[in-house]
Amino acid sequence: GETIIDDKNYYFNQSGVLQTGVFSTEDGFKYFAPANTLDENLEGEAIDFTGKLIIDENIYYFDDNYRGAVEWKELDGEMHYFSPETGKAFKGLNQIGDYKYYFNSDGVMQKGFVSINDNNHY
């Protein structure tokens, strides 16, 4: 989990190995970045990142408090849904509550009719 060393936050897995990526903490999702991503940060150090972040084709969004978005978020007039479990933007056909929604490869919720495998959905 998250560990503070010399006033800097790091994330270690259960085996004690330093990790990089987006992880859930007590304060929400944080980005533990590779070395020198921003301001000459150390390997695995949590950095103050805002905006859209893509890691291995997964989309995340960090607010002005440097925390990952969860659930519904409007960005540039388009709706996105970020998993409360992983912080990743939904893509493809997903059920949220009682409704199904389709999100394109950029994580943007699609409106109107959408054709999926020759089946039309609204």
- 121, part of any domain: no
pLDDT of 116 reads: 73
Q: How many domains does the chain have?
A: 2
- Residue 51 φ/ψ region, left for φ over 0, alpha for ψ in the -120 to 50 degree band, beta for the rest: left
74-120 pLDDT, tens digit per residue, is 999 999 999 999 999 999 999 999 999 999 999 999 987 777 777 76
Alpha carbon distance 63, 68 (integer Å): 6
pLDDT of 113 reads: 72
Enter the tokens of residue 43: 């390997």
User: Range of 35's domain?
Assistant: 1-48
Residues paired with residue 72 on neighbouring β-strands, in sequence order: 81
The one-letter amino acid at 118: D
Q: Which residue from 44, 45, 62 is spatially nearest to 53, judged by alpha carbons? A: 62
Q: State how far the alpha carbon of 69 is from the alpha carbons of 24, 66, 84, in Å.
A: 11, 9, 8
Alpha carbon distance 92, 70 (integer Å): 17
- 37 three-state secondary structure: coil
Alpha carbon distance 5, 121 (integer Å): 51
The CATH number that applies at residue 61 is 2.10.270.10
Residue 122 has pLDDT above 80, yes or no: no
pLDDT of 121 reads: 63
The enclosing H or E element of 2 equals strand 2-5
42-83 pLDDT, tens digit per residue, is 999 999 999 999 999 999 999 999 999 999 999 999 999 999
Q: Within its chain, how far is the Cα of 68 from the centroid?
A: 6
**Average confidence (pLDDT) over 11-38:** 93
Q: Is there a single domain that holds both residue 36 and residue 84?
A: no
- 117, part of any domain: no
Q: Is there a single domain that holds both residue 40 and residue 68?
A: no
